[in-house]
Amino acid sequence: MMYSTMQYKDYVWTNNPKTINISSERDIKESIIPYCGNEFQDYGRKKRIVNGSGEFFGSDCIDQYNVLFNVFKSGTLGYLSLPNVSPFLATFKSLKIEGKPKPNVLSYSFEFWEYIKKENIDIKTFNKFHEVLENETLWDISYLYDIEIEKLLTLNKNIKNPNDLTVGERVYLE
């Protein structure tokens, strides 16, 4: 198994957080039918919630935290990559400094929420194009829609570099 690091947008953790928790749920409603029991209605998967905690080490631990805080401040969607989990769109919901101050150690906790659009239920059926988000590459879009990169390049002759897209640019999918 390959070791992979946690990443959000362009920020890559030097050391993975000490804990990473991924919560997944389904939206299930229960109806009680008198004298017959109960029935369940499955409304699908809810967003994944990722939280955890970690530490920054060294005399520059405050600076390390501030770099992460600036990513948090941007408030825009980005791809979250976790060890052994496929990347997905998420928003950075919270970032906290935790615990007692220690010399050259800063403890923190975080939370991310997965971004799920209604169209993601069957994304290929609804969208003829994708509008580029901040820090998104053609590779991200290829993965999101399960379309080969070569096909996207053929459909989008204006794209010269798959790693250099403009926010708001339309990438045609068919």
Residue intervals in the chain for CATH 3.10.350.10: 118-172
| Alpha-carbon torsion angle 116, 108, 18, 66, nearest 10 | 80
Q: Is the CATH number 1.10.150.80 carried by domain 118-172?
A: no
CA 96 to centroid of chain Cα atoms:
19
Instruction: Quickly tell me which residue has 């659009």 as its tokens.
Output: 117
Report the amino acid identity of residue 73.
K
Q: Are strands 37-45 and 170-172 parallel, antiparallel or unpaired?
A: unpaired
Q: Indicate left, alpha or beta for 68 from its phi (over 0: left) and psi (-120 to 50: alpha).
A: alpha
Q: Is the CATH number 2.60.40.740 carried by domain 7-114?
A: no
pLDDT at position 56, please? 95
The encoded tokens of residue 43 equal 């409304």
CB atoms within 10 A of CB 111: 16
Tell me how far apart the alpha carbons of residues 145 and 10 are, in angstroms, rounded to a whole number: 21
Instruction: Provide block-wise average pLDDT over 10 residues at a time, the chain (174 residues).
Output: 76 92 90 84 88 95 95 90 88 94 93 78 56 85 84 90 88 87
pLDDT at position 118, please? 53
Residue intervals in the chain for CATH 2.40.30.200: 7-114
DSSP string, 82-97: ETTEEEEEEEEEEEEE
Instruction: Quickly tell me which residue has 């820090």 as its tokens.
Output: 135
pTM for this predicted structure: 0.64
Tell me how far apart the alpha carbons of residues 118 and 156 are, in angstroms, rounded to a whole number: 25
